[in-house]
Structure 1
Amino acid sequence: MKTDSNIKLDVQEELAWEPSIDQTKIGVAVDEGIVTLSGEVDSYSKKIAAEKAAKRVSGVKAVAEDIVVKYPSSLDKSDTEIAKAAVDALEWHSSVPDDAVMVKVENGWVYLTGEVKWSYQKYSASNAVKNLVGVKGVSNSIKLKQEVKPVLVKDTIEEAFERSARIDAKGIVVTTDGNTVTLSGKVHSIKEKEDAEKAAFRSPGVLNVVNKLRIQYYPSYA
């Protein structure tokens, strides 16, 4: 099993490998497999990129993200300006239904609420606003409300896992109870665990995913 020192080194190397961020501005601390990222970046997209890079590393159990987004004064925007830009971005995004999402902005944080039928529409709303200048964070509380009843949901999800190059389908057990899907078994990283949950959410009729997947790491370190 990896030691905290091994994990810290791997996370630092993964951050250095990520072209969109300057790893020298991000601090890394590891305690019992839990990674804490700190420092300062000049856009929200870079903050997200650092978090995703850490989650890709084998041995990481969780990521506590304390990175601060601080824009240059020339790019700083008021909450009103960010809200207007967010509304425009959602209107232009073809995957987000018209008038389905409400926007609130407070201290640079964008809060999304409302109801959509599909999980991809929920995540598309986040993607539409996360790269806007001035945004310091996105809280997505959009709810899913589907009219389609789950039909062969279990088979559909398992087939999606089999198709995915990022998910080891052999270690995942899928159970269903109405509109709720429960994932159990083992995966090899936080990223794989999250990918499995997203894949399950994409299945027609699924409104809730209970992710009980456990992370089993490759024994690359003694």
Structure 2
Amino acid sequence: MTKKEEDIKKRVIDHLYWDNRVDASKIKVDVKESEITLKGSVENYNAREAAVLDAWQTRGVTKVNNEISVKYPPAYTIPSDKEIKSSVENLIAWNPNIDSTDIDIKIKNGFVDLEGTVDAYWKKTRVEQIASGVSGVLEITNKLAVVPTEDIVDKVVAEDIASSIDRKFSVDIEDVNIKVKDGKATLSGTVPNWSAYRAAIESAENTAGVTEIVDNIIIT
């Protein structure tokens, strides 16, 4: 392992141990150049997502592979699939910004499939975030399709994404290429860090008319 790899690994491990949401003692960190692989287990899905985010946010990291599994403590009574489904459905229904009418939740052994439609891309990501907070969830597959309620031409969608990125201080619009076809937004280019990457992706996620995002951005 090179000195650079050792430094990156130490920063990731330190960041994991700093995060009170994560039991870092059960996570193994492997590094190859600037690419991180996380292995081991955590006690809930939110902790898994937190660990991945911690790695992404660490200086020097350009890619994160997530191989962490969710293993609930032996003394914990894991909810049944029926209970998990009910909890997810209720939380989505109680969210004032999301119409759950066309959302279908399927669960098998703690594995959640989100199916159906929503009318905005940010709602697709929000539904997944809601499901991730439910006890008993082991994995989530987001199959929600985005069907906007109004037609917005691709040129306008691309311009709106670009304008949003250009207004942000954490990312340079010159670093990001944007193409939109039939609502599918493809973002490419190279950015210097995770903050710039997320700023660009969030601009696409929150733009009206986006139905799908192809992420080809590289962190250098």
TM-score by length of 2: 0.87
CA–CA separation in structure 1 for the residues paired with 2:98 and 2:89 = 11
Tell whether 2:160 aligns with 1:156.
yes
Cα offsets for 1:74-115 (capped at 9, x unmatched): 341111211111111121122221322111111212110111
**Residue range with higher mean Cα deviation, 13-22 or 78-87:** 13-22
Alignment of 1:1-80 (within 5 A): 3-72=4-73, 73-80=75-82
Letter in 1 for 2:151: V
Unaligned runs of 5+ in 1: 217-222
**Given the superposition, is the C-alpha separation of residues 123 and 168 from structure 1 closer, same or farther in structure 2, using an over 3 Å criterion?**
same
Equivalent in the alignment of 1:220: none
Answer yes or no: is the 8 Å Cα contact 1:57–1:189 preserved in 2: no
Equivalent in the alignment of 1:200: 204
CA–CA separation in structure 2 for the residues paired with 1:182 and 1:135 = 30
Answer yes or no: is the 8 Å Cα contact 1:103–1:110 preserved in 2: yes
Match of residue 124, structure 1, among 120, 126, 142: 126
Letter in 1 for 2:119: K
Unaligned runs of 5+ in 2: none
Equivalent in the alignment of 1:213: 217
Deviation at 1:178, TM superposition (A): 4.2
CA–CA separation in structure 2 for the residues paired with 1:36 and 1:84 = 34
**Given the superposition, is the C-alpha separation of residues 127 and 20 from structure 1 closer, same or farther in structure 2, using an over 3 Å criterion?**
same
For residue 3 of structure 1, give the secondary structure of its aligned residue in structure 2. helix
Letter in 1 for 2:173: A
CA–CA separation in structure 2 for the residues paired with 1:33 and 1:66 = 17
Equivalent in the alignment of 1:83: 85
Equivalent in the alignment of 1:140: 142
**Residue range with higher mean Cα deviation, 11-20 or 146-155:** 146-155
Match of residue 114, structure 1, among 113, 116, 136: 116
Deviation at 1:158, TM superposition (A): 1.9
Equivalent in the alignment of 2:186: 182
Deviation at 1:24, TM superposition (A): 2.2
Letter in 1 for 2:132: K
**Residue range with higher mean Cα deviation, 100-109 or 9-18:** 9-18
Question: What root-mean-square deviation, in Å, do the aligned CA atoms of Structure 1 and Structure 2 show?
Answer: 2.2
CA–CA separation in structure 2 for the residues paired with 1:152 and 1:194 = 22
**Given the superposition, is the C-alpha separation of residues 189 and 107 from structure 1 closer, same or farther in structure 2, using an over 3 Å criterion?**
farther
TM-score by length of 1: 0.86
CA–CA separation in structure 1 for the residues paired with 2:205 and 2:151 = 13
Instruction: Report 1 or 2 for greater relative contact order, CA contacts < 8 Å, sequence distance ≥ 6.
Output: 1
